[in-house]
Chain A
Amino acid sequence: MADRRILGLGCLLAAAAALFLFWGLRGPTAYILELRMVKLAGLLSVGAAVGVATVLLQTISHNRILTPAFMGFDALFLLLQTGLVAGLGIAGSSRIPALAGFLLDAAVMMGAALVLFTSVLSRTRHDIQLMVLTGVVLGLMFRTLTAFVQRLMDPSEFSIVQARMFAQFGGIDSEALAVALGLMMLAFLWLWRNHAVLDVAALGRDTARSLGVGHDRLQLKVLCIIAALVSVSTALAGPIAFLGLLVTSLAHSLMRSHRHALLLPAAALISALILVAGQTVFERVLMLQSTLAVVIEFCGGLLFMFLLAKGKIR
């Protein structure tokens, strides 16, 4: 019983993907197609991961304007990159194979997120507002540390770091992508089997508990999944702050439902659609080599303010 709106989004996404793959195909067709396929897979997985992670965070925090980026994930990513370049030098850091680099990024981010969440959660008696605040403060600390390390760098090292500071879909490594896809599939499998219990958790801790749902353990599991998904997207493509916020508000206004069986796929599809369509327009129409993420951040921010002002976000 697939929802019509989900089907519609799926068709739009398929059309955008086909356009991305086949528009302006000239020269060594097979080679270009292969390159484009990797890029497309990267866009799709980053999109789905960002969309789903944001919906999940909003559900367990009972707050509709939070994104994982507020929790300092992107700041941690930047600190990690800066630390690598500063510690190993340009030669050393570029000698790390892409796959190992991705696994390191993902593992460190998940580990840090879990340490943060578990320690703070147990101390604040499951007060998620306090946890978010802690995340924001830690994010600030990561950013300041990053800025400090960057002051100490020489200009050529700094330019390498700077290139990694915005989300990039150009240089996605296909091996790293395969690992990311595997990790994402595990997360999505869990969500597929447990989406209904998320609907109950969204009612709030007290109500969920009175319905016999172990809210706190569920919250921890979902936080692990968010950590995994954000690690995947950030390690693959770098930080994207506003996309999640934009996508969840669009998903909520389109679906007008509390059911995660509808919200999660809608958010994943909308998010992937924005990335694929945006990248297509960027590369084929505007012939720009610049990064799509900058534009998404800008437009996302504007659209979000617009929705907020119109009272569409509740």
Chain B
Amino acid sequence: MIKITGLSYGHGAKPILDGIDAEIPAGRITALIGPNGAGKSTLLNLIAQQLAPSRGCISLDGMDAARIAPAQLARKMAVVAQNLTVASRVRVKDLIGFGRWPHSQGRLTAADRAAIGDAIELFGLAPLQQRFLDELSGGQRQRAFIAMAYAQDTGWLLLDEPLNNLDLHHARNLMAQLRSLAEQRGKGIVIVVHDLNYAISWSDHVVALKDGRAVFQGPVDEAASAASLTALYQTPVAITRIGGLPFAQYHR
């Protein structure tokens, strides 16, 4: 479990995050939702230890995350950032191989090679594995980075806007894969998603942010009600159920 206590980021009259308390369950998909500028990506980066909070703390499976050595943290948590540009000319297969760095420090073992092959297979990257990263489309690059994080083989997986650049087919496939990783491998997955319907139909848990504060959180069925979502986005949102899954109707 990730437990966030009194977390703030940024100083002055308008901090980016202001006193966030939240609990993110292990082995489940948790979506961070909220309007633009609410601080979702900042919260994700704070959890990932890419940023240091101005106040508050984050505990990861009972340990203070700020005190875990970077090399050890990389074996517990993998992160896919939103801005994925690489200056060096890397092939897809080599990029995924970097996911094994925390385990093997660049000397790949047979187990590492198996994990890399597994990731390539799972994310459908076999036809692209010899291509250079800068020759791929945005969506293909996105999938390569997610495959790298998967190859890192960590208990926690953090993804910032993983559906950006993905078409319907790949977006749905990715969510299904995350779902099975959570259910079958017990991975805790935290995602920032803009599309409300992807968030509520695929995830188990939501944490809603607005203006740097956590306005509501909990299991999707309880927390993501029409009233709370309407207030969160200041837009009328109706929740219906289609095939047993919640569906948010807000576009018209």
Please give the residue numbers on chain A whose beta carbons come within 8 Å of chain B beta carbons, in ascending order: 58-59, 62-64, 196-197, 199-200, 202-204, 206-207, 209-214, 252, 256-258, 314
A sample of 28 inter-chain contacts (CB < 8 A) reads: A58-B87, A63-B87, A64-B87, A197-B106, A199-B88, A199-B98, A200-B98, A202-B90, A203-B86, A207-B81, A207-B86, A207-B98, A209-B49, A209-B50, A209-B70, A210-B48, A210-B74, A210-B78, A211-B74, A211-B98, A212-B71, A212-B72, A212-B75, A213-B101, A214-B70, A257-B89, A258-B94, A314-B134
Q: A207-B81, A211-B99, A258-B89 are in contact. List 11 more A-B contacts (CB 8 A).
A: A199-B98, A206-B50, A206-B83, A207-B145, A209-B50, A210-B79, A211-B152, A212-B70, A212-B102, A314-B89, A314-B134
Assembly CA distance A214 to B68 (angstroms):
13
Query: Which residues from chain A contact B95 at a C-beta distance below 8 Å?
Result: 203
Known interface pairs A203-B86, A256-B89. Does A211 touch B105 (Cβ–Cβ under 8 Å)? no
Query: Which residues from chain B contact A63 at a C-beta distance below 8 Å?
Result: 87
Contact A62 B81 (CB under 8 A): no
A interface, over-half SS: loop
Query: Which residues from chain B contact A213 at a C-beta distance below 8 Å?
Result: 70, 101
CB 8 Å contact bits of B141-180 with A (1 = contact, 0 = none): 0000100010010000000000000000000000000000
- Say if the beta carbon of B125 comes within 8 Å of chain A: no
Contact B90 A258 (CB under 8 A): yes
Assembly CA distance A63 to B85 (angstroms):
12
Query: Which residues from chain A contact B73 at a C-beta distance below 8 Å?
Result: 212
**Total B residues in contact with A, Cβ cutoff 8 Å:** 35
Assembly CA distance A197 to B98 (angstroms):
10
Of B69, B73, B78, B106, most buried by chain A (CB within 10 Å of CB) is B106
Question: Closest approach, in angstroms, between the C-beta of B49 and any C-beta of chain A?
Answer: 8
Contact B98 A204 (CB under 8 A): no
Query: Which residues from chain A contact B145 at a C-beta distance below 8 Å?
Result: 207
Known interface pairs A196-B105, A197-B106, A212-B73. Does A204 touch B78 (Cβ–Cβ under 8 Å)? no
CB-based closest 7 A-B pairs: A212-B74, A196-B106, A210-B79, A62-B87, A258-B88, A202-B88, A212-B71
Assembly CA distance A314 to B90 (angstroms):
12
Query: Which residues from chain B contact A257 at a C-beta distance below 8 Å?
Result: 89
Query: Which residues from chain B contact A64 at a C-beta distance below 8 Å?
Result: 87
Question: Closest approach, in angstroms, between the C-beta of B134 and any C-beta of chain A?
Answer: 7
Taking CB as reference atom, which chain A residue is nearest B100?
A211
Contact B101 A211 (CB under 8 A): yes
Question: Closest approach, in angstroms, between the C-beta of B41 and any C-beta of chain A?
Answer: 11
Question: Closest approach, in angstroms, between the C-beta of A251 and any C-beta of chain B?
Answer: 12
Query: Which residues from chain A contact B81 at a C-beta distance below 8 Å?
Result: 206-207, 210
Contact B89 A203 (CB under 8 A): no
Assembly CA distance A251 to B79 (angstroms):
32
Known interface pairs A206-B79, A211-B74, A211-B152. Does A200 touch B101 (Cβ–Cβ under 8 Å)? yes
Question: Closest approach, in angstroms, between the C-beta of B16 and any C-beta of chain A?
Answer: 15
Contact B86 A202 (CB under 8 A): yes
Query: Which residues from chain B contact A206 at a C-beta distance below 8 Å?
Result: 50, 79, 81, 83
Assembly CA distance A206 to B82 (angstroms):
10
Taking CB as reference atom, which chain A residue is nearest B69?
A212
Assembly CA distance A204 to B75 (angstroms):
19
Query: Which residues from chain B contact A210 at a C-beta distance below 8 Å?
Result: 48, 50, 74, 77-79, 81, 149
Assembly CA distance A206 to B81 (angstroms):
7
Query: Which residues from chain B contact A252 at a C-beta distance below 8 Å?
Result: 89
Contact B87 A204 (CB under 8 A): yes
Residues of B36-53 whose CB lies within 8 A of A:
48-50
Contact B71 A203 (CB under 8 A): no
Query: Which residues from chain B contact A258 at a C-beta distance below 8 Å?
Result: 88-91, 94
Query: Which residues from chain A contact B72 at a C-beta distance below 8 Å?
Result: 212
Query: Which residues from chain A contact B83 at a C-beta distance below 8 Å?
Result: 206
Q: Which of B50, B90, B102 is the one whose CB lies under 8 Å from A203?
A: B90
Contact A204 B85 (CB under 8 A): yes
Assembly CA distance A210 to B233 (angstroms):
31
Query: Which residues from chain A contact B79 at a C-beta distance below 8 Å?
Result: 206, 210
Question: Closest approach, in angstroms, between the C-beta of A203 and any C-beta of chain B?
Answer: 6
Question: Closest approach, in angstroms, between the C-beta of B155 and any C-beta of chain A?
Answer: 14
Assembly CA distance A200 to B69 (angstroms):
17
Q: Which of B88, B106, B149 is the one whose CB lies under 8 Å from A59?
A: B88
Assembly CA distance A258 to B98 (angstroms):
12
Taking CB as reference atom, which chain B residue is nearest A201?
B88
Question: Closest approach, in angstroms, between the C-beta of B226 and any C-beta of chain A?
Answer: 36
Query: Which residues from chain A contact B99 at a C-beta distance below 8 Å?
Result: 211
Residues of B115-148 whose CB lies within 8 A of A:
134, 145
CB 8 Å contact bits of B176-212 with A (1 = contact, 0 = none): 0000000000000000000000000000000000000
Question: Closest approach, in angstroms, between the C-beta of B222 and any C-beta of chain A?
Answer: 32
Of B75, B77, B81, B98, most buried by chain A (CB within 10 Å of CB) is B98
